[in-house]
Chain A
């Protein structure tokens, strides 16, 4: 092995790959990756719900941000009125649970605006989404300035899986990845599988795909295109709302202006990467955010050998660039993957086209 590591450039890459495998299997990094991927995967599910029925949704970012704020404020207000000790179940309190409910409601509400603008008024869907992003950013920043909360309702706690399961050789890290996490993160994998099955194996899924590919044909066989699109966009809002709740009630316990930081757009790229399927989008989310988790891993457990020396040297000479590199990797990967994948992955045929019944004037 060491002989391979000494090959000039290739050896370096080999060292890195071996380090990657080691850190994911033994470094307790897998749950972090899943946590980082959670808002991306949920956002991508929102995108799938929309675009499979023919509605482009650029406003996921804004929906997430608005829901994140609503989740945080609702939880805080309930917490102040009825303080409760965290329960054994994920550390849940009435405040946190109501916060999640409110976030979902907020996501659906913003989705309703998008649906109204893009389905009923037939406004340009990308402009409608952008408007939602701008308005959500403005409104949450305004409210956050107006009511400056110094208190917090806390966060959900991660589940503690039995040590025997996590320490299983070879597969223990997989158990850790999906169990040593909070409730919203844990639900993501379930939601992804459910939506995947429903989309390809249920009557609703068939109708959704029909409307997304050929709305006129779907209309001819008696499917109400407008109503189905409305329903799908609103259901997509549920996922965006959950993503927002994750950010404030599971990941951080606070709200900062523009805290979504482009996650809604990374979610779109993950969806395109996954060719508009929930499981594909989930894998995309893991890949994109895994790159950010590597930065965390290197900080926690620096690699040994030449690679470690090199990284330590760069970090010492250029600390800011070094840190920003890992923060920026998901954004960079998004661009690269998008450039490589689009064109070869085909969106639903009617994606982005408003539907107008011919009989109506």
Chain B
């Protein structure tokens, strides 16, 4: 047990140090922002002010903490959408499109069941979102399995196709009359309303259930074993009697379903689908999954961390005048340090363990090649 805990702690060391280093790098940018921003002064303490307001904005009050959890909720799901794929050697960077299609479908189902009691309407709309997301994941999965088109390119292209299709449909077909901008009709009882004066809503529970559920799926079921086997080596999995193609399609659909649920939650929280639905949760999912080392528990923690940053950023922008986009920069720098794991270990004089896990190498190995099976 203790040995197991130790190995978990070891897994978290490099991510934690990467975060630390990224915050250091970002503070240089923050100081620079003070120099060229509206204040035009050199302030060495500005990063501290910024990070303090980031903390206050996400943990300072009960309401702030609720906002933080609400921001982290969809990130857990998009994190799983990327992370579970990584386990199968698939790099699903199309969570954005799956989120949009899932959210849009959830809003349509929501309108249909708007009159039903919330306990029926909300799950129905969410299920609709999950199925639509699964479809958006199925397409690149199918293409990868049967034509060899790599998911990194097809999912990015699908993101654009989905976004253009959905916004066209909202503008021309599903536009609700009586609003100054293009949006769908209200989802009525399917709306996720905050409880107890905070923004906390029922969707949080659905996301939290998905974490242990995917852990169980990956590590305690045959399907999970096959997913990981295909991720480690598709050819070996084929000779062991598994069907790598089928597993790829299944995994991508599952990933899409997670992302679709995330989209459903975001849209049902809003209560309608706007024609321009700008959301970063799809791409944040990549950071969450890589930071969480593609493990469900790691994904939960990194989603909370990123959720805290997203929730605290507006206060930071007000108090320290640092643009919220700094969060995107911090994310990128964290990822650079994660990829440069060897360098991080050298800086902190850590022992080097076996570098590079098997699944990650499969992603590039299957680039531009047809999958056997």
Q: A interface vs B, CB < 8 Å?
A: 56, 58, 113, 116-117, 121-128, 130-131, 134-139, 141-142, 145-147, 261-262, 265-266, 268-269, 272, 317-321, 323-325, 327-328, 331-332, 334-335, 338-340, 342-343, 345-347, 351-353
Contacts and interface: CB of A to CB of B under 8 A. Distances in A.
A262 B340 CA distance: 26
A262 B157 contact: yes
A331 B139 CA distance: 14
A121 B343 contact: yes
Interface string B214-241: 0000000000000000000000000000
Contacts of B158: 331, 335
Contact of A135 (B156, B332, B356): B332
Given A142-B325, A146-B36, A332 B161 contact: yes
Nearest to B139: A335
A323 B370 CA distance: 35
Interface in B16-56: 29, 33, 36-37
29 contacts: A117-B336, A117-B339, A121-B343, A123-B339, A126-B152, A126-B363, A128-B339, A130-B152, A134-B331, A135-B332, A135-B333, A141-B325, A142-B329, A145-B325, A146-B37, A147-B36, A262-B157, A321-B171, A331-B157, A332-B157, A335-B157, A338-B147, A339-B143, A339-B149, A342-B148, A342-B150, A342-B368, A343-B369, A351-B367
B115 interface: no
Contacts of B328: 134, 137-139, 141-142
A318 B167 CA distance: 12
Given A56-B367, A342-B150, A146 B161 contact: no
Interface residues of B, number: 61
A329 to B, nearest CB: 10
Interface string B344-373: 000000000001100011011101111000
Contacts of B148: 342-343
Contacts of B168: 318, 320-321, 323-325
Interface of B: 29, 33, 36-37, 91, 93, 143, 147-150, 152-154, 156-161, 164-165, 167-169, 171-173, 275, 283, 286-287, 290, 323, 325-333, 335-336, 339-343, 355-356, 360-361, 363-365, 367-370
A346 B148 CA distance: 11
Given A122-B356, A130-B152, A335-B154, A113 B336 contact: yes
Given A126-B367, A127-B339, A340-B147, A320 B91 contact: no
Contacts of B154: 335, 338-339
A347 B369 contact: yes
A323 B287 CA distance: 33
B335 A335 contact: no
A139 B147 contact: no
Identify the 8 closest CB pairs spanning chains A and B, nearest first.
A138-B328, A135-B332, A320-B171, A321-B168, A347-B368, A142-B325, A352-B364, A324-B164
- Judged by DSSP, the binding face of B is helix
Contacts of B364: 56, 124-126, 352-353
Contacts of B356: 122-124
Nearest to A272: B368
Contacts of A117: 336, 339-340
Given A124-B361, A320-B171, A342-B150, A142 B157 contact: no
Contact of B157 (A134, A141, A265, A351): A265
Given A139-B329, A142-B328, A351-B367, A134 B160 contact: no
Nearest to A265: B156
A121 B37 CA distance: 36
A335 B154 CA distance: 6
Contacts of A346: 368
B370 A342 contact: yes
Interface centre among B164, B169, B331 (most CB of A within 10 A): B164
A225 to B, nearest CB: 17
A339 B150 CA distance: 9
Nearest to B159: A262
Interface centre among A127, A139, A351 (most CB of B within 10 A): A127
B164 A130 contact: no
Given A324-B165, A328-B160, A58 B152 contact: yes
A338 B184 CA distance: 34
A320 B339 contact: no
Nearest to A261: B160
A343 B147 contact: yes
Interface centre among B29, B147, B275 (most CB of A within 10 A): B147
A328 B164 contact: yes
Contacts of B363: 124, 126-127
Contacts of A334: 153, 157
A145 B322 CA distance: 10
A347 B367 contact: yes
A34 to B, nearest CB: 22
Given A142-B325, A319-B172, A328 B332 contact: no
B153 A269 contact: yes
A319 to B, nearest CB: 7
A317 B173 CA distance: 10
A121 B91 contact: no
B153 A138 contact: no
B368 A351 contact: yes
A60 to B, nearest CB: 11
B149 A335 contact: yes
Interface centre among A56, A261, A331 (most CB of B within 10 A): A331
Contacts of A266: 157
Contact of A328 (B37, B156, B161, B169): B161
A265 B149 CA distance: 12
Contacts of B173: 318, 321
Given A122-B356, A131-B332, A321 B368 contact: no
Nearest to A117: B339
A142 B172 CA distance: 34
Contacts of A327: 164
A13 to B, nearest CB: 23
